[in-house]
Amino acid sequence: MKILMITCTFPPRKFGGITRSSYNLANELVKRGHEVDVCTTDLGDDSNSRLRVRRKESLDGINVHYFRNISNYLAFNHRLFLPIGFISFIRENISKYDIIHVNDYRSILAVAVSYYSKIYNKPYILQTHGAMIPFFNKTILKKIFDKIYGKRILKDASKIIASTELEASHYVPVETKENIEIIPNPIELSDFNVSTEKGSFRKKYGLNNQKILLFLNRINKVKGIDLLLQSYAELGMNETMLVIVGPDDGYLEEINKLIKKLDIADKILYVGPLYGKEKLEAYTDANVYILPSLFESFGNTVVEALMCGTPVITTENCGNAYLAKKFGRVVKNDKNEINRAIKDILSCENYNIEEIRTYIENIFNIDSIMGRVECVYKNGKGASEIEQV
């Protein structure tokens, strides 16, 4: 099958979330014998950087087309992606593909694919990765977009993929349940087979015997890090350290002001983004991982923490909250509830790491997930087209 994948960001950019999920999906499809092209932009790891790539690259067997953003400042800070040449590429090439998978929603990329898919009678699969909710910022602009373009993009999609039941519930007001498939994000579980030495993260940052409360994610308001800081300021456990790991997503300056206001700078360790083995070491040495998001359609980091044997605390607004119920705590967006959950977990006996990993591996079995994705792709095509693939 010849597949075109649309995503605003893609490796070698290092941010997680959609970037990582899109790559994992494309990589697995190539392994299963499909021909995969990806259209993306050159947004780097901050508002001032661009990916140092050619217009077309081969990445692990994936044909990646990188389009230069008119402004990476607008792309990074306002999610306004304006890739030069993308529309003409779609217009000239969309007829070559059997299926298009759009990992985006409110952007010119999704609008262009929706428009030309209809002209050339090509099916597309839509996966918004939690972007359906118009709250948190730019609410008015989002609602205007939804009225002009959004509902049509949803209606014209052959199928919509939601990563969790929670995310699926946000499509229902616009789409019928029959057109929504719930499929978890593909996660490369073999990444967690890297050997990590217990205590290496503690040693590197001089944390000694302190209890580590870990927040590892983008520094973004929607992740609830401000609530976590307010909660931690009232925790009253001097033997703990709140470790913050992740790239600035436009909110670090506000967080630094809040830390100063709360007078907790001596109890906070911000190490910036970590990747690969260093990230796994942070998870491994943490006593608890905390994700207090206002909304999280999936929550890759919840799975990552559990694969490292670390119990988790999430809000009930996290798609993977059901995992936290089994190996941690689920709380409301309330600082007192967060603190109670922290104290409960720190007073508990250690969780069985092998039990956690086995449970996660069964749920996120890559062959099962990819089989369901392929089924969605085939159902998005006409019967005669399926026979030719």
Instruction: Look at the domain 190-363 and name its fold.
Output: Rossmann fold (3.40.50)
pLDDT at 355: 85
- Residue spans of the domains in the chain: they are 2-186+365-388, 190-363
What's the rounded Cα separation, in Å, for the pair 130 and 162?
A: 8
Give me the residues paired with residue 126 across strands.
102, 160
Question: How crowded is residue 324: how many other Cβ atoms within 10 Å of its Cβ?
Answer: 25
What's the rounded Cα separation, in Å, for the pair 318 and 109?
A: 27
β-strand pairing of 35-41 with 159-162: unpaired
The DSSP line for 261-300 is HHT-GGGEEEEE---HHHHHHHHHH-SEEEE--S-BSS-H
Residue 51 tokens read as 């990916």
Q: Which residues contact 39 (CB under 8 A, 6 or more apart)?
A: 4, 5, 6, 7, 65, 67, 86, 89, 90, 109
Query: Can you identify the CATH homologous superfamily of domain 2-186+365-388?
Result: Glycogen Phosphorylase B; (3.40.50.2000)
Two domains, one topology: 2-186+365-388 and 190-363:
yes
**If you search the block for the tokens 């990476």, which residue do you land on?**
72
pLDDT at 385: 37
Query: Which residue in 286, 287, 296, 283 sits closest to 224, CA to CA?
Result: 296
pLDDT at 383: 32
The pLDDT tens digits of the residues spanning 265-323 come to 999 999 999 999 999 999 999 999 999 999 888 888 999 999 998 999 999 989 889 99
pLDDT at 171: 84
**If you search the block for the tokens 């104290």, which residue do you land on?**
343
Which regions of the chain are under pLDDT 50? 382-389
